[in-house]
Structure 1
Amino acid sequence: MRLHRLDITAFGPFGAPQTVDFDELSAAGLFLLHGPTGAGKTSVLDSVCYALYGAVPGARQTGQGLGLRSDHAAPGTRTEIRLDLTVAGRRLEITRQPPWERPKKRGTGTTTEKAQSWLREYDASAGSWKDLSRSHQEIGEEITQLLGMSREQFCQVVLLPQGDFARFLRADAEARGKLLGRLFDTHRFAEVEKRLAERRRTTEAEVRAGDAELLADAHRMQQEAGSGVEVALPELKPGEPGLAESVLAWAAVARSTARERLTIAHCARTAAASAHAAADRELDDVREVDRLQRRFTAARERATRLEERADAHQEAQARMQRARKAEAVAPALDLRDLAGTEHRRAAAEEARARAGLPQTFADAGAPGLATAARKAAEELGGLESARRAERRLAELTTERASLDRQERADEDVLQEAEAWLAAWEDTRAGIESDIETAQEAATRAEQLAVQREPALRRLDAARQRDQFARDTDAAHERALAARERATEARAHWLDLKEQRLKGIAAELAAGLVDGEPCAVCGGTEHPAPARKVDGHVDRETEERALAGFQSADEERAEAERRLGVVREALAAATAEAGDTPTARLTQETEELEQRHAEARSAASGLHAAREAREQAEREHRRRTDAQQEAARRVASRASLREALDREKTGLEGELTQARGDAGSVSARAAQLERQVALLTEAADAVRAAEDTAQRLKEADARLADAAFRAGFDTPRAAAAALLDDAAHRELQRRLDAWQSEEAAVRAVLAEADTAHAAQRPPADLAAAERAAESAARRLREAASAQDAAARRCAGLDALSGRADRGVRRLAPLREEYDRVARMAGLAAGTSADNERKMRLESYVLAARLEQVAAAATARLHRMSSGRYTLVHSADRAGRGRSGLGLHVVDAWTGRERDTATLSGGETFFASLALALGLADVVTDEAGGVRLDTLFIDEGFGSLDDQTLDEVLDVLDSLRERDRSVGIVSHVADLRRRVHAQLEVVKGRTGSVVRQRGAVD
């Protein structure tokens, strides 16, 4: 990949369009990107990354790309990045426009434009550009496929970020693993570890579930077998080896014991059944003898009772004969009782009917009462027309009262409508005033809302400016202190070094041996070797001073770096907020917020005021219509009232004549109706009483004649001998029972078996029943024991078969679990077979790290004059896992040590070598895509002149592979050494770029 041209518009600190010609810069192979802190050097690299991937490096991303726009750009200028590059032999042009908020074309406020992208390719044969795509997704996939790297890999390999590789050198194995995992995409190996672990947990859970089910079956078998099994169930847990064999062996013992117990129970049941049958036969014989003896005794007792009731039986027979004679008189008695009852009822009804008549009709007969009833009925018929007139008069009265109520209601409506309409103009004027006030407040709120957002942003920036100013002062003080400490430490180290050089002869003399040549002059005789004086400085003291100086120098560099970051942030906040004091901005913003809130509160009543106006207009129309309708009803009601009064006067004269002395026609009609009903009822009652008296006389004559013919002296005697149905049935039952009882007693006493049994000794039924019950109980117990033994055998057979099937089903699953567990343990580094405890992903990353260390060593040799070599270490670090260790071999001491022990300058060129080596390995991993343009961000200030020359020589050697390297640095010495430069200059209106080629 080679960059040719970059066009930046309204991006980051660049308000005006800027152009970077990378072809001119790359001609020298090495170019410098420099400028003051906060000018926008990093924004140049961000724009390259955004053009390729549609996003800036991870640490500087903002939501939806809205934060990429330059605050210095004109409102109508669209943010745009255009990059011309060659990748995989193709000349491409990528244009990116992030989303931005532009002013609305109509009205006030802003609207958000969507992001846009273009991809074009140069057609050399046609000499023109052709469009390829305008889809964000298609462009992203195409660039990723051509480069062979994700955005994270590109930012790590091409933009070589400041400090990342220095931290990589000092990091532990876990941190290195995360970085290498992102670059080399080894998550698939971690996914394999995860899948194996999940499969191991799944199969283990299945095996444990199967073992738990097997143990549950074993416990059920133990419960089924009871306490008859002498061998105890083995105490094992799910997942333990040998569980299946132990359970099956115990089940076989339990089944054998259960079958033996079933055989014993069967023999016991057979013996109990025989004894039970003999006891039942003996009980039947005793029961029969006892029954016959009790039968004979009962018959003798019944015969004795019959003899005692013989007199009562004869009296009952005589009573039955008299009752049968009296049955001939019964119809006459019933007829006489019915006639008497009817006569008494008719006489009472006559007396009741005469009691309600006037005194003039007290002695009148039935014909006279009927004649008076007909006269009253004729008079009642003549009152029907008067009744209709009375009902009509009541209706007229009701109608007249309704008209009065309607008139009063209409008068109320008219008065209320006139009062409301009189105040209508004032009400409408007040509502219109409220609407105008609310509209003015809404307009004022919109205007203040436009001013509010910029004021809030400026206030936030001012607060950040004040905080950054305080942070800058503190950082400046810390940087001065660190610089003083570093200067003092360097002077101390140089003083000790000079003292050691003065006494170096004593150190050399300490190693002289008589007869061996001197390392300085070569002589074998040493007549006067130098002696160490008081205060001699040895090598260890000098090295401690050097280490103290290096540590102080690193603290100084870190303090200056932090000071630069804080100053850059202060400049950005100052550019946003200006020089206005924060207190003043706070006061202005609070006033603006208060005015905006007041305007919004006043404008919130606009909708309510408009609704009030519509409601008032509807009420005005309703009141007007109600007033007109009430006036029409009042006019039409006068003529109707006069007609009702005329009709009422005529009906009142007619009714006065018809009702007589009664209060009303209805009262007079009610009197006549009651009189007709009483007279008619009395006439009927008199006729009924006369008829019942005649029938009673005839019934008495017939009764006397019937009693004489039946043999009774008087009708009363015949009535006394007569029995009702219940008494007759009871007497007949007693006679029949006597005869049946007598016949049954004679039959029992005549039986031969009964008489023979009565002569035998009394039977002992209780003893026979106890013997039979004891035999039955023993049989039930034997049968229950046999059934329990049979059920136990069947249950054990079923559970044993289920356990056997479970063992056969679990066998392949247990084998799979053993195999998966071994593989998961090896992949996770927890298995005993994995001696180095190295995970699968760590193993792959270790191989990549070994390649990176080999590639980095080739450059580190040149930068360190052959002193340092980077090597990969597979040793374990403490309790951690092995595979991602990184050590440096110092050729001066011959010792291997951790990269975290390197000094500041050594760490820089070691990390630079590591970054370049990593770029080569990632490039090869991506399919051999050439990376012809690289950027290195800062860190050169920690190098001395000689090391800086060696590092620049290594970077300059990259031209042999047709590469160009851009150095992002503040070091002033680099401006003299590197001629091709891209300078970023910041100003109050935004930053600009100035470019100078190698020949300028």
Structure 2
Amino acid sequence: MRLHRLDITAFGPFGGSQSVDFDALSAAGLFLLHGPTGAGKTSVLDAVCYALYGAVPGARQGGQGMSLRSDHAAPATRTSVTLDLTVAGRRLEITRQPPWERAKKRGTGTTLDKAQTWLREYDAAAGGWKDLSRSHQEIGEEITQLLGMSREQFCQVVLLPQGDFARFLRADAEARGKLLGRLFDTRRFAEVEKRLAERRRATETQVRDGDAALLADAHRMQQAAGEAMDLPGLAPGDPGLADAVLSAAAVARSTAREQLDIARRRLAAAESARTAADRALHETRERDRLQRRFAEARERAARLEERAGAHQETQRRMERARKAETVAPALDLREAAELEHRRAADAETRARALLPAPLADAGATALTDAARRAAEELGGLESARRAERRLAELLDERAGLDRQERADEEILQEAEAWLAGWEETRTALQNAVDGARQAATRSEQLAERREPARRRLDAARRRDRLAAETEEARGRALASAERAAGARKRWLDLKEQRLDGIAAELAAALTDGEPCAVCGSREHPAPARKDAGHVDRAAEERALKDYQLAEEQHAEDERRHAGLREALAAATAEAGDTPAEQLARELRELEHAHAEAREAASGLHAAQERLRQAEHEHQLRVSAQREAAVRAAARVGHRDRLERERATLEEELAQARGEAPSVAARAAQLEHSVARLTDAAEAARAAEETARRLKAADARLADAAFRAGFDTPQAAADALLDAAAHRELQRRLDAWQQEEAAVRTVLAEHETLTAAAQPPADVLAAERAAAEADRRVREAASARDAADRRCMELDRLSARVAASVRRLAPLREEHDRVARMAGLTAGTAADNERKMRLESYVLAARLEQVAAAASARLQRMSSGRYTLVHSDDRTGRGRSGLGLHVVDAWTGRERDTSTLSGGETFFASLALALGLADVVTDEAGGVRLDTLFIDEGFGSLDDQTLDEVLDVLDSLRERDRSVGIVSHVADLRRRIHAQLEVVKGRSGSVLRQRGTG
């Protein structure tokens, strides 16, 4: 992977657009990225990582999106990062823009634009760029696949943070394991450990569950066997549990079958005894029935003998009733004729009582003639009746005209009274509508003024708050400037004192017989001595660190002060100099006026509705007035016509009704007279007819009674029986005959006579014997069924246990195999002598490769003194595999890397970082890394060690690599000519390239 160009806009501390030509910087092989603390050196590397992966490294990642935007950028400038690079032989260009909250193009407020990403590839044949994708996901997958590294690996391999590797050298095995796990992605091995452990727990649970189910079935078998089964004293998971359960089940089945055979024999004997008892009970009950039957027949014969006289009387009474039945039709006929004659005579009397005195004694013919004459007169009144009905209609119609006239007069009066005040009413309603409209317009105007007033008030309050914060930040900036100046003065003083006493430090390293590093002499007659106020290198470094921290704090305070001043200026420009209290009072007055106008405008719809209803009412009143006038004119002619027709009809009706008050009354009189005459004539004829039929019925009844043998018709009537009495006598006669026949039959039966001659039967004793035999059969059957169920249940449970044993056998084998594998990968098995987990084993192999790759560079940096070696030794109670030691060639001793000094730790961590880059590159598929960055740490090196480190870094050019050093050490600017400088200012940082031709 080689970087060509980086374009940054509104990113981090860079408020504008900046470009980095990596091709020009890489031409020298080694280039320097420097600038003051907080200028943005690391932000350049963040931009490279963000372009590739859409995220910045490590802890600087933050919330993403809006946090990447520069505080110095103009509001209309969008944050953008474009990276031109070559990877896997392909020239690509990646552009990323994070989410952007910008001002709306229309109206007020802001809107959020989504993040955007472009990926283009250079087409050498076409001589231009072609678009590949605009999808975040597709571009991320493409870049990750081409690089073969995750973001964490890239940040460790390409962006070499020395502080991380220094901590790696001093870290314990646990921390090293976490870092190496992220770089080499050994999660799959940890996942294998986890899966094996889970599988071991799962199979163990299955085996225990299977054994528990096996023991549960054994307990069920013990319950089914009636506690005649001994259970094995083993727990789930114990060996031999299955065989013990199978053996106990076999013994229980054999015992149950023996008990079943005994129960079957007992049941057969009980059933034979019950059959004999049932036969004896049946014979006893039959003899008892026949004996009781004979006794009952003798008692019934005695009762028949006692009722013989009453039976003969019933027979005679039945005979007379049968004779009287021949006279019954004549009796019924005569009774019916007499009843009909009485009814007809009563009806004639009532009808004649209603007739006038001249016709009260007239015959039927005279009454009929009088009824005909009255009907003829009634027919002549039909025309007069129609005229009378028409006259009533005329009177009703005239009354209706009068009512309409009164109603129209009321309508006209009401309409005239309402219309008299119409103009005044319409004017008042129109004024209400106009007033509500004006209030609505004023409400809209006030609403438009309200939001700017509110914003101005917020700005004024923000202005007042920022003024206090700005003054406070100014004080802190001045104080931090004084502290930074004091720290710088102290550092320079200590540095000067150390330079003055540097001879003492050199003299401390002199050894008799060894050449001096300055003059080369092997004799040291008067080496310099350290005085009481000597300043060593550690004191100078602490002073420098204090100065750097103070300078960083001062820059942070200045940046905060500048930001607050800008915010204060913006708030003042928006709010002006008006006090916030006055703006709040004006806003409250504006809100009150707006509320009043809005309240007045809320009645606009109601006022318009009232005006519309009033106009509609006006139209209705005018129309009603006009229609009432038309109806009044039409009624005058109609009333005249009705008057003329009424006079004609009254003259005609006077002639037709005579002395009656009306024609209808006269017609009613005639109808009543015709009806009474007709009824009286019919009643007279009916009475004459019924009298003739009664006389004939008397003659027929006397003849029938004589022929039936009765002296008088009354004697025949007395001998008659009604249906209920007849049925009762017949029932008594039939019951006597049936009872007599039944008694004779029973007394003649041979079996009954034979049983009566035997001793009385003892049914209770026979029933007791049969019940006892049945009880014994039920007990034997219950015992047989219980034994049968016991055998079936034991067979079922035995088959279930056998199936469980067969099913658990491969599962138990699998658990043993998985448990061995899980213990081996987890480092807990006895076979794993070093107690190394699988992931630790893989990481140990990777660490061994990294140590070998780093040792070559470390030996050169340390002039052959130090070598990094990997150690598998265990530390304390922990597990082995991730130990890292350094071999000191001067002493020949091997010690832990945590014992290295500050400068030794730097070049050891640098060597480790370069070695790790080589190993991770090979692990990622051999992707060539042509551009590397080293971040800080050079300030802790002396001149000789710095030259050796730079020689090692310069040697990377042998493989056409370029290395960028990120540092603010002043000496490096003299040694490295190709430089990228970050210059910070109040409007943001800018980039300058030097020494690139």
> Normalising to structure 1: TM-score of the pair?
0.79
Deviation at 1:320, TM superposition (A): 0.8
Offset at residue 267 of structure 1 (A): 0.4
Quote how far apart the aligned CAs of 1:334 are: 2.6
Question: Residues 255 and 793 of structure 1 are in contact (CA less than 8 Å); yes or no, is this contact kept in structure 2?
Answer: yes
SS of the equivalent of 1:740 reads helix
Structure 1: which amino acid aligns with 2:11?
F
**Counterpart residue number, 2:626:** 635
The CA RMSD measured in Å over matched residues stands at 5.4
Aligned partners of 1:219 and 1:873: how far apart in 2? 57
Q: Measured at CA, do residues 428 and 492 of structure 1 come closer, stay the same or move farther in structure 2, by a change above 3 Å?
A: same
C-alpha contact 2:473 2:561 (8 A) present in aligned 1: no
Listed as ranges, the matches of 1:383-402 within 5 Å are 383-384=385-386, 386-387=388-389, 390=392
Q: Deviation at 1:159?
A: 1.6
| In 1, Cα distance between equivalents of 2:444 and 2:816 | 81
> 327-336 vs 726-735, which deviates more?
327-336
Structure 2: how far apart are the matches of 1:291 and 1:315? 36
Matched, 1:153 2:153: yes
TM-fit CA distance, 1:335? 2.9
CA distance in 2, matches of 1:876, 1:663: 146
Question: How do 1:216-231 and structure 2 match up within 5 A?
Answer: 216-223=216-223, 225-227=224-226, 229-231=228-230
TM-score w.r.t. length of structure 2: 0.79
Q: Give the structure 2 partner of residue 14 of structure 1.
A: 14
Shift of 1:730: 1.6
Q: Secondary structure at the match of 1:17?
A: strand
Identical counterparts, % of pairs? 61
2-structure distance, mates of 1:677, 1:883: 142
C-alpha spacing 1:463/1:665, structure 2 compared with 1 (3 Å):
farther
Q: C-alpha deviations, 1:591-647, integer Å up to 9, x for none? A: 899999998999999999999767866775665455335423431233334545765
- Aligned position for 2:739: 741
Following the alignment from structure 1 to structure 2, what is the Cα–Cα distance between the partners of residues 299 and 98?
122
C-alpha separation between the residues in 2 aligned to 1:952 and 1:942? 14
Q: CA deviation at 1:562?
A: 6.1
Q: Is 2:309 the counterpart of 1:280? A: no
> Cα–Cα, structure 1 residues 564 and 499, in superposed 2: closer, same or farther, change >3 Å?
closer
Deviation at 1:767, TM superposition (A): 0.5
The residue type equivalent to 1:331 in the other structure is P
Q: Could you tell me whether the CA contact under 8 Å between 1:153 and 1:183 is conserved in 2?
A: yes
In the alignment, is residue 176 of structure 1 matched against residue 176 of structure 2?
yes
Change (3 A) 1:213 1:704: farther
Which range is displaced more, 983-992 or 133-142? 133-142
CA contact (8 A) 1:66 1:100 kept: yes
Quote the offset at 1:271 in angstroms: 0.6
CA distance in 2, matches of 1:859, 1:748: 138
**Cα pair 1:377 1:672 within 8 Å, conserved:** no
161 and 235 in structure 1: CA distance in 2 versus 1, 3 angstrom threshold: same
Against the structure 1 CA distance between its residues 482 and 107, is the aligned structure 2 distance closer, same or farther, given a 3 Å change threshold?
closer
- 1:576 aligns with one of 563, 584, 606: 563
Q: Which runs of 5+ in 2 are unaligned?
A: 513-521, 524-529
What is the deviation of 1:936? 2.2
Deviations 1:209-257 (A, max 9, x none): 544554554444444x2416332376644x5544433333232222222
**Mapping of 1:794-943 within 5 angstroms?**
794-863=792-861, 869-876=867-874, 881-888=879-886, 899-900=897-898, 904-943=902-941
Aligned position for 1:533: none
2:519 matched residue in structure 1: none
CA–CA distance in structure 1, aligned partners of residues 942 and 394 of structure 2: 132
**Correspondence list, 1:87-98, <5 A:** 87-98=87-98
Secondary structure of 1:578 counterpart: helix
Distance 1:460 1:90 in 2: 55
The answer (yes or no) to whether the contact 2:352–2:680 under 8 Å persists in 1 is: no
Residue of structure 2 aligned with 1:429, choices 425, 434, 448: 434
Q: CA deviation at 1:760?
A: 1.7
CA contact 1:33–1:41 (8 Å) conserved in 2: yes
Structure 1 letter corresponding to 2:130: D
Aligned to 2:11, the other structure's residue is in SS state: coil
Matches within 5 A, 1:310-329: 310-329=308-327
Give the 5 Å matches for 1:672-821.
Answer: 679=676, 683=680, 686=683, 695=693, 699-700=697-698, 702-821=700-819
1:302 deviates by 0.7
CA contact (8 A) 2:144 2:150 kept: yes
> Partner of 1:268 in structure 2?
266
CA contact (8 A) 2:491 2:544 kept: no
Distance 1:777 1:101, change over 3 A: closer
Indicate yes or no: 2:134 matched with 1:135.
yes
Residues 880-899 of structure 1: CA distance to partner in whole angstroms, max 9, x if unpaired?
54433445556677666655
Please tell me whether the aligned partners of residues 33 and 967 of structure 1 are also in contact (alpha carbons under 8 angstroms).
Answer: yes
Aligned to 2:41: 41
For residue 948 of structure 1, report the CA deviation from its aligned partner. 4.7
Cα pair 2:394 2:646 within 8 Å, conserved? no
**How is 1:433-448 mapped onto 2 (pairs within 5 angstroms)?**
433-441=438-446, 443-444=448-449
Post-superposition Cα deviations, 1:802-839, rounded to whole Å, max 9, x if no partner, equal: 33233323333333333233333333444444444433
The structural deviation recorded for 1:153 is: 1.7
Q: Tell me: CA distance 1:914–1:647, structure 2 relative to 1, closer, same or farther (3 Å).
A: same
Counting only pairs closer than 5 Å after superposition, residues 320-399 of structure 1 correspond to structure 2 as: 320-339=318-337, 341-342=339-340, 367=367, 374=375, 382-384=384-386, 386-387=388-389, 390=392
8 A contact 2:906–2:940 mirrored in 1: yes
Aligned pair count reads 953
Partner Cα separation in structure 1 for residue 204 and residue 865 of structure 2: 54
Residue 997 of structure 1, CA deviation: 1.6
Tell me how far 1:186 sits from its aligned partner: 2.0
Q: Is the 8 A contact 2:378 2:671 kept in 1?
A: no
Distance 2:248 2:910 in 1: 72
CA distance in 2, matches of 1:456, 1:859: 62
In structure 2, do the counterparts of structure 1 residues 706 and 144 end up closer, same or farther at CA, with 3 Å as the change threshold? same
Q: Secondary structure at the match of 2:881?
A: coil
* Cα distance change, pair 634–274 in 1 and its aligned pair in 2 (3 A): same
Cα distance in structure 2, aligned partners of 1:462 and 1:877: 59
**Aligned 8 A contact 1:461 1:576 in 2:** no
3-state DSSP class of the match of 2:160? coil
Task: Name the aligned partner's letter for residue 781 of structure 1.
Answer: E
Secondary structure (helix, strand or coil) at the match of 1:983 reads strand
Whether contact under 8 Å (2:371, 2:674) holds in the other structure is no
- Which position in structure 1 is the counterpart of 2:120? 119
Partner-residue secondary structure (3-state), 1:163: helix
Give the Cα separation in 2 of the matches to 1:169 and 1:386.
Answer: 136
What does the per-residue CA deviation read over 1:688-742, in whole Å, with 9 as the maximum and x for residues that have no partner?
A: 6776666556545544544444334444443332112222122111112112212
How far apart in 2 are the matches of 1:180 and 1:622?
87
Determine if contact 2:334/2:701 at 8 Å carries over to the other structure.
yes
Any conservation in 1 of the 2:30–2:976 contact (CA below 8 Å)? yes
- The equivalent residue for 1:524 is none
Please tell me whether the aligned partners of residues 484 and 551 of structure 2 are also in contact (alpha carbons under 8 angstroms). no
- Partner secondary structure for residue 19 of structure 1: strand
* Cα-to-partner distance string for 1:372-405 (whole Å, 9 max, x where unaligned): 9846787688535544664676577678768658
Tell me by how many angstroms 1:294 deviates.
Answer: 1.0
Counterpart residue number, 2:32:
32
